[in-house]
């Protein structure tokens, strides 16, 4: 099993921490993982993205040039990453914010109203977790339990209520096919 | 081995140094190594060590000189332009035979360059970098795990041979997170044998004082000092070479790569092996001393050698010296802090074997493309760039 993932969105949408969570979850399941952020002269309100690799063997390249899955949380990220997804790969689009449709036909495209679902769950802040839930459900690369267990390690000061809310968001995301 | 935890490269390097007994750190901020001083700033306080955010890189390296002279395990870190600034101090540290640790989390150059990971400082690191005849022990990690565990190795080698050691990594290794663990129990500085050469406390204890200096002004004295150091360097070249080999048993072509380039190379080798190409990897872990002897041995078994580097070709110089013209040595170059793509290296492997030029650095064709005169840089510096 090998999953190279790119998660991209606005700074503040939790794309970087969603990546850390995914990597930590992979580690919980005993996989080899890596996480690599886009860093540099980024502006407040600009786009941020990160690379995550989860594999059974060894992570060679931590920079995911051609992702198996791209999770697109905002409009500017779509033209940037849609062309890079591997043939047969998966494109998860946050349709609450991204109004443009994907044009590729050789990949699976899933539109998830992440923000709407997150608000229904109880906090807009969980939109990134809704997307992670969809990723987990569709790829099987990681289990919801592993992500939930990773949350305790990544968000060390989170209250139990917040963790329960996060788990709900993951589960709602995982329902999307 | 303890359970694996997810840790960022720079933080693993800092924690690794602390656990190796480092109790003095001086540094000055620069991307992409900022997590090292940030981590040290609170962690040194926890363990009773000292952290100084110096007023400049030059101040930091001179503070390192002073701290190292007391026999304390001491460290500084920076990234390429900052390491260039530290060269004066590094030369003095070498001239005074001071064990210490310098970490360079390389970024693009020359000049201010950019802030992405690069490998353009190989020559600077392995040839000394400052003025005079000297070497540094240079360790090149290729994972967060190695970043965490190499500081101990570096301090031990530095103390054994009484000279500075460097950890040469890059922005990608520094910024990435991976599962890692520490392979050693934390070192308690008080349990280390005090250095017989260190300064401080001699008068109070009524002992003969030690001196630390990097000059020898008497006639013939400096040459004696430099030659003595040369004996030591020869011993290190004989005894302390570390490297990793993969798939070299049946290899027709050998890839030589270090650090993050070695990881892209491993993926490329997996791609090429699936196509039936017999390709092996030699990954130098000590860049100085370089695995010259082993590369020389392997060069008699392979048809050619490929060096993927994130530079215009610096390590390849050492590879060519080892090979001594026996087989062709090709370069896949990604200068300007561009991460090498595994698929491109796989193409380069095929090109090297079949005499093609695709993805190989073609020196012969370059001179014709050169532009002279009053050309301007293609891109104006961006506004954000000015903040670096």
**CATH for B284:** 3.40.50.920
Are B286 and B173 within one domain? no
Cβ(A1)–Cβ(A55) below 8 Å:
yes
Are B157 and B251 within one domain? no
Residue that finishes a domain, picked among B123, B156, B191: B191
| Helices and strands counted in chain A (H then E) | 6, 6
In a domain, residue B187? The reply is yes
In a domain, residue B215? The reply is no
Which of A23, A36, A41 lies at the smallest CB-CB distance from B382? A41
Which residue ranges make up each domain of chain A? 2-174
Residue with tokens 């190594």: B33
Are B150 and B10 within one domain? yes
Which of B175, B342, B382 lies at the smallest CB-CB distance from A39? B175
**What's the N-to-C CA distance of chain A in angstroms?**
21
Q: Which of B55, B74, B69, B205 is nearest to B151 (CA)?
A: B74
pLDDT computed for residue B385 by the predictor: 44
Are B38 and B157 within one domain? yes
pLDDT computed for residue B382 by the predictor: 56
Contact A33 B6 (CB under 8 A): yes
Are B180 and B273 within one domain? no
Chain B residues close to A40, C-beta within 8 Å: 31, 114-116
Q: How far is A57 from chain B (nearest CA, A)?
A: 12
Contact A34 B339 (CB under 8 A): no
* Encoded tokens for B202: 């001699």
pLDDT computed for residue B380 by the predictor: 61
- Sheet arrangement for strand B100-106: B50-53, B24-27, B74-78, B100-106, B164-170, B137-139, B286-288
Cα–Cα distance measured from residue B32 to residue B255, given in angstroms and rounded to the nearest whole number: 28
Q: Is B2 exposed, middle or buried (0-12, 13-18, 19+ CB in 10 A)?
A: exposed
In a domain, residue B206? The reply is no
pLDDT tens profile B65-105? 999 999 999 999 999 999 999 999 999 999 999 999 999 99
Are B290 and B184 within one domain? no
* Sign of the torsion angle spanned by Cα atoms B307, B311, B315, B316: positive
Contact A60 B266 (CB under 8 A): yes
Contact A39 B31 (CB under 8 A): yes
Could you tell me if B283 lies within 8 Å of chain A, comparing CB atoms? no
Domain that holds residue B276: 245-369
Contact B384 A43 (CB under 8 A): yes
Ranges under pLDDT 70 in chain B? 1-2, 375-388
Ranges under pLDDT 50 in chain A? none
CATH superfamily of A2-174: Pyruvate-ferredoxin oxidoreductase, PFOR, domain III (3.40.920.10)
| Best residue of A29, A32, A36 to probe chain B, by most B CBs closer than 10 Å | A36
Cα–Cα distance measured from residue B335 to residue B332, given in angstroms and rounded to the nearest whole number: 10
Which of B4, B171, B267 lies at the smallest CB-CB distance from A61? B267
Residue that finishes a domain, picked among B150, B176, B191: B191
The CATH number of the domain holding residue B107 is 3.40.50.970
pLDDT computed for residue B379 by the predictor: 62
Contact A39 B270 (CB under 8 A): no
Contact B179 A58 (CB under 8 A): no
DSSP string, B180-234: E--SSPPP-GGGSPPPTT--SSHHHHTPPPP---S---STTHHHHHHHHHHHHHH
* Encoded tokens for A120: 């229904």
Are B52 and B151 within one domain? yes
Q: Which of B241, B229, B342, B247 is nearest to B288 (CA)?
A: B241
pLDDT tens profile A114-139? 999 999 999 999 999 999 999 999 99
β partners of residue B74: B24
A86 backbone dihedrals φ, ψ, rounded to 5°? -60, 145
Are B187 and B256 within one domain? no
Are B19 and B91 within one domain? yes
Q: Is B275 helix (H, G, I), strand (E, B) or coil?
A: coil
Are B39 and B183 within one domain? yes
Residue with tokens 């689009």: A93
The total domain count for chain B is 2
Nearest residue in chain B measured CA to CA from A53: B178
Cβ(B48)–Cβ(B217) below 8 Å:
no
């Amino acid at each position: 099993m090998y999953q190279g993932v790119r998660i991209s969105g606005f700074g503040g949408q939790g794309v970087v921490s969603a990546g850390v969570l995914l990597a930590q979850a992979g580690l919980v399941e005993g996989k080899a993982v890596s996480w690599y952020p886009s860093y540099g002269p980024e502006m407040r309100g600009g786009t941020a993205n990160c690379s995550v690799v989860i594999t059974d063997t060894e992570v060679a390249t931590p920079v995911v040039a051609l992702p198996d899955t791209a999770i697109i949380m905002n409009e500017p990220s779509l033209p940037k990453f849609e062309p890079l997804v591997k043939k047969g790969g998966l494109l998860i689009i946050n349709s609450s914010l991204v109004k443009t449709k994907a044009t590729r036909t050789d990949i699976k495209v899933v539109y998830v109203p992440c923000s709407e679902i997150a608000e229904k769950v109880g906090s807009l802040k969980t939109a990134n977790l809704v997307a992670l839930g969809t990723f987990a459900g569709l790829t099987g690369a990681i289990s919801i339990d592993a992500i939930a267990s990773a949350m305790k390690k990544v968000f060390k000061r989170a209250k139990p209520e917040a963790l329960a809310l996060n788990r709900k968001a993951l589960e709602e995301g995982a329902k999307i096919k | 081995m303890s359970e694996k935890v997810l840790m960022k490269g720079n933080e693993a390097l800092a924690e690794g140094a602390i656990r190796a007994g480092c109790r003095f750190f001086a540094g000055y901020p620069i991307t992409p190594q900022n997590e090292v001083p940030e981590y040290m700033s609170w962690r040194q306080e926890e363990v009773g060590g000292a952290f100084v955010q110096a007023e400049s890189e030059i101040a930091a390296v001179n503070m390192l000189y002073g701290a190292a002279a007391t026999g304390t395990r001491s460290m500084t870190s920076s990234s390429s332009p900052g390491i260039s600034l530290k060269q004066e101090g590094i030369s003095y540290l070498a001239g005074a035979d001071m064990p210490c640790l310098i970490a360079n989390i390389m970024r693009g150059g020359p000049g201010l360059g950019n802030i992405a990971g690069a490998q353009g400082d190989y020559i600077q690191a392995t040839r000394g970098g400052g003025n005079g005849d000297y070497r540094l022990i240079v360790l090149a990690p290729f994972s967060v795990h190695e970043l965490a565990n190499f500081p101990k190795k570096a301090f031990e080698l530095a103390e054994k041979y009484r000279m500075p050691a460097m950890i040469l990594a890059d922005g990608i290794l520094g910024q990435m997170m991976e599962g890692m663990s520490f392979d050693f129990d934390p070192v308690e500085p008080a349990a280390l044998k005090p250095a017989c050469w260190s300064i401080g406390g001699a008068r109070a204890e009524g002992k003969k004082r030690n001196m630390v200096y990097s000059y020898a002004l008497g006639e013939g004295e400096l040459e004696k000092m430099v030659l003595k150091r040369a004996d030591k360097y020869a011993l290190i070249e004989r005894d302390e070479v570390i490297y990793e080999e993969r798939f070299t048993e049946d290899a027709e072509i050998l890839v030589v790569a270090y650090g993050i380039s070695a990881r892209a190379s491993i993926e490329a080798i997996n791609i090429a092996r699936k196509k039936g190409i017999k390709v092996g990897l030699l990954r130098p872990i000590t860049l100085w001393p370089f695995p010259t002897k082993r590369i020389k041995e392997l060069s008699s078994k392979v048809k050619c050698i490929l060096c993927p580097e994130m530079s215009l070709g610096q390590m390849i110089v050492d590879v060519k010296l080892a090979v001594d013209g026996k087989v062709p040595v090709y370069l896949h170059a990604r200068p300007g802090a561009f991460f090498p793509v595994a698929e491109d290296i796989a193409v380069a492997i095929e090109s090297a074997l079949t005499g093609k030029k695709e993805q190989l650095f073609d020196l012969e064709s370059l001179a014709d493309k050169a532009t002279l005169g009053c050309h301007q840089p293609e891109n104006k510096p961006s506004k954000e760039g000015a903040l670096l």
